[in-house]
A and B are shown apart, each in its own frame.
Chain A
Amino acid sequence: MGLDGAGNAYIAGLTHAKDFPTTTGALQLANNASDQGTGFVSKFAIPQGGKLLVHDFGLSSNLSSAAIPRGQSASATITLTPMNGFYELVSFSCSGLPNGASCDFSPISIVPGTTTSTTTLTLTTSGLTSNKEDRILPGTILALAGLVGLLGLQKRARATCVIAVALFLGVLVLNGCGGGGSSGGGGGPKPTTFTATIVGTSQTTTHTTSFTVTVN
């Protein structure tokens, strides 16, 4: 390699490539050699103002939202796009899932090539219980209110007390029914909605993509 005083670099070497870059008007445009390779001379005018390209990757999902019948699963294709020669092992995981929902990736990790690669996410909701908890809370509050009322009525007439106990038991019974008639829309449990975040982690960086999941 040599330099001239005007910021040009001259490189000589050997190439086996048939598509080695050549310039218009060059002495020899094609590599005619078979196995031995052919020599090359290249001159570079070094441009100013260059910045280092950061090796990085992008993550995207083919889904922006998913509706899953309770207890079943859904699949999404997660695309990994390497940028600027990014070349590290990327491992996949999920975050933001409620208890009872789980995710699996196939494959679980990828070393990207020069183009995009994909992994298949399977999101399972089989452990997701009906969201009875949502209705227990107001039921419990009512029950507690009944208890407080009962205590407050200690000095009053026994008949009133019996009514209070009946009220309290009534609330418990309602609660025990699972709120079957209270959720509306056909009597099933209320849909659970959450954001599934897919996390790609490499040695140097982490990226995420997410979509909304509604479990009916």
Chain B
Amino acid sequence: MSQAQAVAVDSTGNAYVTGWTTGGNITTQGAFQTVSPGHDAYVVKVSPSGSALVYSTYLGGTCLDSPELAGDEGRSIALDASGNAYIAGQACSKDFPSTTNAIQTTLTGTFFNAFLSVLNSSGTDMLFSTYIGGSG
């Protein structure tokens, strides 16, 4: 089961969708994350005609003990001029991907934190990814 939560469109008409999925997504070769441990966020880039997946990747980790959230979820997506995708959402996984330039690399929330991730234009690499939040 999947649910789309947000969509953005770049200047050439590619559509970027984020949301959450319980697995079974088609991922593209070389995508940032091709395996989902469970209920995770995803990011999909669709060609202007809607006929092809430019990239499709999972985004998330293993969320086992959050009573309020079934898994990581993308809630919002935006694009910069280079086609990098900025995804914001909620993460309850302790192993949500984070990067060396993150402001927060560990989950501090009892249930979940917000996250901000930046995927490169081909969906193959994470440029920035961080948890955001406190311990509430």
Cβ-defined contact, B128 with A47, below 8 A: yes
Given A50-B127, A52-B97, A53-B105, A15 and B80 contact (CB-CB distance below 8 Å):
no
Q: Is the interface of A mostly helix, strand, loop or mixed?
A: loop
Distance of A55 Cα from B97 Cα, bound (Å): 8
In-complex Cβ contact of A46 among B62, B81, B127, B132 (8 A): B127
- Output the least CB separation between A103 and chain B (Å): 29
Interface range on chain B (Cβ under 8 Å from partner): 35 or more
A63 interface residue (CB < 8 Å to B): no
Cβ-defined contact, A53 with B98, below 8 A: yes
Contacts of B136 in A (CB 8 A): 15-20, 31, 37
B134 interface residue (CB < 8 Å to A): yes
Interface range on chain A (Cβ under 8 Å from partner): 35 or more
Given A3-B78, A11-B116, A53-B99, A84 and B105 contact (CB-CB distance below 8 Å):
yes
Cβ-defined contact, B98 with A15, below 8 A: no
Contacts of B134 in A (CB 8 A): 15, 17-21, 31
Chain A 156-172, CB-CB to B under 8 Å as 1, else 0, gives 00000000000000000
B102 interface residue (CB < 8 Å to A): yes
Distance of A17 Cα from B77 Cα, bound (Å): 24
Cβ-defined contact, A9 with B86, below 8 A: yes
CB-CB contacts below 8 Å: B39-75 with A: 61-62
CB-CB contacts below 8 Å: B95-111 with A: 95-109
Distance of A93 Cα from B104 Cα, bound (Å): 34
Cβ-defined contact, B76 with A1, below 8 A: yes
In-complex Cβ contact of B106 among A19, A37, A114 (8 A): A114
Cβ-defined contact, A85 with B96, below 8 A: yes
- Output the least CB separation between B76 and chain A (Å): 4
A105 interface residue (CB < 8 Å to B): no
Distance of A48 Cα from B82 Cα, bound (Å): 13
Distance of A215 Cα from B118 Cα, bound (Å): 56
- Output the least CB separation between B98 and chain A (Å): 5
B86 to A, closest residue via Cβ = A9
Cβ-defined contact, A9 with B116, below 8 A: yes
Given A5-B81, A21-B103, A114-B94, A50 and B76 contact (CB-CB distance below 8 Å):
no
* A binding-site residues for B, Cβ under 8 Å: 1-3, 5, 7, 9, 11, 13, 15-21, 31, 37, 42, 44, 46-53, 55, 84-88, 113-114
In the assembled complex, 29 residue pairs joining A and B whose CB atoms fall closer than 8 Å, in A order, are A1-B76, A1-B77, A1-B88, A3-B86, A9-B88, A15-B136, A17-B134, A17-B135, A19-B134, A19-B136, A20-B133, A20-B134, A31-B134, A37-B136, A44-B103, A46-B86, A50-B100, A50-B127, A50-B128, A51-B100, A52-B97, A52-B98, A52-B125, A55-B95, A85-B96, A85-B105, A85-B106, A88-B62, A88-B95
* B binding-site residues for A, Cβ under 8 Å: 61-62, 76-81, 86, 88, 93-109, 114, 116, 118, 125-129, 132-136
